[in-house]
Structure 1
Amino acid sequence: MKLPRKNRLRASALGALAVSGALLLTACGSDNNTGGTGGTGTNTAAKNVKCEGAKGKLLAAGSSAQKNAMDLWVKNYMAACQGIEVNYKSSSSGEGISNFTKGVVSFAGSDSALKPEEVAASKTACKTGQGIDLPMVGGPIAIGYNLPEVKDLVLDASSIAKIFNSQIKKWNDPAIAKLNPSAKLPDKPIQSVHRSGDSGTTQNLGKYLGKAAPNDWKYEAEKKWPAPGGQGANGSAGVAAQVKQVEGAIGYFELSYATSQSIPTVKVDTGASAPVAANSENASKAIAAAKIKGTGKDLALELDYATKAEGAYPLVLVTYEIVCDSGNNPETLPTLKSFLGYTASDDGQKALSGIGYAPIPAEINAKVRETIAGLK
């Protein structure tokens, strides 16, 4: 069927992104678990969101790890600020940053802070300023697996590294058996699944393995998957879907993708008195120890991936909203500040715990709010 002329003329990157984002908002997939909290969040948000000056459309793209948080935030915000559209295209951190530096979107979501070369590239889009990192979403990176025979699985950093670099190939490998003495581990091959595109979640997994298992994970922590073997899948949703469908599979994704699809997750032996489960509370204990390493208005964080603190889940990520500190589009700036002001608000952050994320620590979040208020 031939498309109407109006649609055929939508050739610009900006228009294409708007259409894609709109489709994402209206077609919630099975990996979205925000339905149980949306009503409460919406009622609270409608009372407290500051909509003054906001108007039109706000386009954003990037990290799929924060998709479920963004879906809930967008739903609440648009319910409170009638007539305003916020379109967040969930793809990958790399694609989000690329769209941001090209000036296609007002902000990008990324699971990793901007690199120096990305900051330099952002200056073209930011006119009088540059891109900065605002930590907005915290949470555990879950290691999900598909073994119907095993209801409770413990791994440590070394065994996780060896699984994902294809050194451990069977589920009954002695290294896994030692960590799970009471489990009936099957004599089945392991099918590891990783992100096929550039991914901040991949980079955070690499940071964790490089710090906690340096003898077994020799790769640089980059967004592109570095190790041999395994199978690639598109986005966190794609990795979760593969693990859900393939018996013997194991993969990594943000926790809400596991909870929404009832995928069991690994407990991590950190060297503390007991293995630590992937949940919001345990991730918060690890994120609370983060320090700001960014300078000026940049609020990039340094996380302790090798922590052995009791109850602290070490495999965590923080997703950043990347914005221009100055030189933002004056037409969209009020809406940008209004929307991000909501996501960083008490209401916005409290909504995270109910969907498998961890709020940003209060001291750091206070600086995020201050920075958002000062965007130009």
Structure 2
Amino acid sequence: MKLFPHSRIGAVALTGALALTLAACSSGSSAEPGATESGDASAELSGSLAGAGATSQEKAVAGWIAGFNDTNPGVAVSYDAVGSGGGREQFLAGAVQFAGSDAALDEEELTAATERCEGSEAIEVPLYISPIAVVYNLPAVDAEHLQLSAATIAGIFNREITTWDDAAIAAENPDVTLPATGIIPVNRSDESGTTENFTEYLAAASEGAWPHEASGDWPLSGGQSGNGTQGVIDTVTGAEGAIGYADASRAGDLGTVALKVGEEFVPFSAEAAAKVVDASPRAEDSTDKRLIVELDRTTTESGAYPLVLMSYSIACSTYADEADAANVKAYLSYVASAEGQERAADPSVAGSAPISDDLRAEVQAAIDSITAG
């Protein structure tokens, strides 16, 4: 199975995009400017560092920028949360120095990245691991989690299961009194790596119930949708009976689904997401700079949660400007560090799953290769 089939949007709409920017400010930290866990503190960093991309990373990136600026107050870092597709496009166009994406670059984008990166290979490193929550708005249901198999979720989002008391849902929730409320499936309206991961899970795990290919673009026309992660959450929150999918850090007070894995139902958690990542192989086209993981969506391992996204940080291994190379290298080193990963894992920040020590070593080696041409 091809890991990341893509359908790309042709233009990036910046109107209304959320930019996360922290102005450079002084800090009480005793660390020298420019210092990173594995970096070089020999020169003070300064200038602007712009990124764009996945809304799933938005909360984590805000935390990373704050932590990075504690020891690098001379660098003004910004992140435009326009979605994975928009971030990749801005990066390939040279509008930003790095991108966040819930899906890896496809073959056409890799060719464009070589041209953008002074003839060098793009770097793609997984630095944000998070479950994707299936969220619903059913205030009348008194259950910690509704239990749903991939096949039932596929039937719901393919608009074949249309009421919450449907026999398929009732069979998987025998102890829950289900209302006859109509189901309102909500999908992302923008091209999205979260959508791609969600449809990849449905295509792989639903045993044929999902008749569409994995894609970052929603395959069905019409229906309810929301722009970006927050748009989906807002739409589900505003309509009783609605169900959607979003990065788990945004689930809030909405109900969340426990997925059927083998013979058990597993709710999302950082630990359950990390379990799947550690058990999954690398993609065939991975390199020492492109650490692409082929997530095992059909695992039956106890306690694993297979509906997970790995969001990548995308950068150049060679930049034309020395300051860009130094700033990107230092920022990504902080994000990959134990400190950076722990900051994002804090439930008050993003509640993500930290990368393992073994993966961190590979990621840091890729980041260390960044240079100026």
User: Which bin holds the TM-score, normalised by the shorter protein?
Assistant: 0.7 to 0.9
CA distance in 2, matches of 1:153, 1:284: 22
| Matching residue within 172, 179, 184 for 1:179 | 172
Deviations 1:12-50 (A, max 9, x none): x9xx98x966x5347xxxxxxxxxxxxxxx979999745
Change over 3 Å in CA distance of 1:301–1:43 after alignment to 2: farther
Change over 3 Å in CA distance of 1:315–1:20 after alignment to 2: closer
CA distance in 1, matches of 2:210, 2:69: 44
Please say if 1:360 is aligned against 2:355. yes
Residue 214 of structure 2 aligns to a residue in which SS? coil
- Check whether the contact 2:146–2:256 (CA below 8 A) recurs between aligned residues: yes
> 1:122-201, aligned counterparts within 5 Å?
122-150=113-141, 151=143, 152-201=145-194
Deviates more, 1:308-317 or 1:149-158: 149-158
Report the count of equivalent residues.
343
Residue 333 of structure 1 aligns with which residue? 325
- Check whether the contact 2:319–2:325 (CA below 8 A) recurs between aligned residues: no
Please say if 1:56 is aligned against 2:52. no
Residue 319 of structure 1 aligns with which residue? 311
Please say if 1:285 is aligned against 2:240. no
Deviations 1:181-217 (A, max 9, x none): 1111110111111110110000001111111014111
Please say if 1:204 is aligned against 2:200. no
- Give the deviation of 1:263 after TM superposition: 1.7
Please say if 1:234 is aligned against 2:243. no
- Give the deviation of 1:244 after TM superposition: 1.4
> 1:238-277, aligned counterparts within 5 Å?
238-258=231-251, 261-272=252-263, 274-277=264-267
Deviates more, 1:51-60 or 1:196-205: 51-60
Q: Which amino acid aligns with 2:325?
A: L
CA distance in 2, matches of 1:44, 1:325: 30
Structure with greater helix share of residues: 1
- Give the deviation of 1:123 after TM superposition: 2.1
> 1:341-352, aligned counterparts within 5 Å?
341-352=333-344
- Give the deviation of 1:369 after TM superposition: 0.6
Give TM-score, length-normalised by structure 1.
Answer: 0.86
CA distance in 2, matches of 1:362, 1:253: 27
- Check whether the contact 1:77–1:342 (CA below 8 A) recurs between aligned residues: yes
| Matching residue within 216, 220, 228 for 2:213 | 220
Give TM-score, length-normalised by structure 2.
Answer: 0.86
Residue 114 of structure 1 aligns to a residue in which SS? coil
Deviates more, 1:134-143 or 1:263-272: 263-272
- Check whether the contact 1:239–1:253 (CA below 8 A) recurs between aligned residues: yes
- Give the deviation of 1:177 after TM superposition: 0.4
CA RMSD of aligned residues (A): 2.4
- Give the deviation of 1:112 after TM superposition: 0.6
- Give the deviation of 1:298 after TM superposition: 1.2
Residue 301 of structure 1 aligns to a residue in which SS? coil
Q: Which amino acid aligns with 1:24?
A: L
> 1:55-94, aligned counterparts within 5 Å?
55-94=46-85
Residue 57 of structure 1 aligns to a residue in which SS? strand
Unaligned runs of 5+ in 2: 1-10, 23-27
Q: Which amino acid aligns with 1:132?
A: I
| Matching residue within 282, 297, 316 for 1:305 | 297
Change over 3 Å in CA distance of 1:328–1:181 after alignment to 2: farther
- Give the deviation of 1:82 after TM superposition: 1.4
Q: Which amino acid aligns with 1:85?
A: A
Change over 3 Å in CA distance of 1:344–1:210 after alignment to 2: same
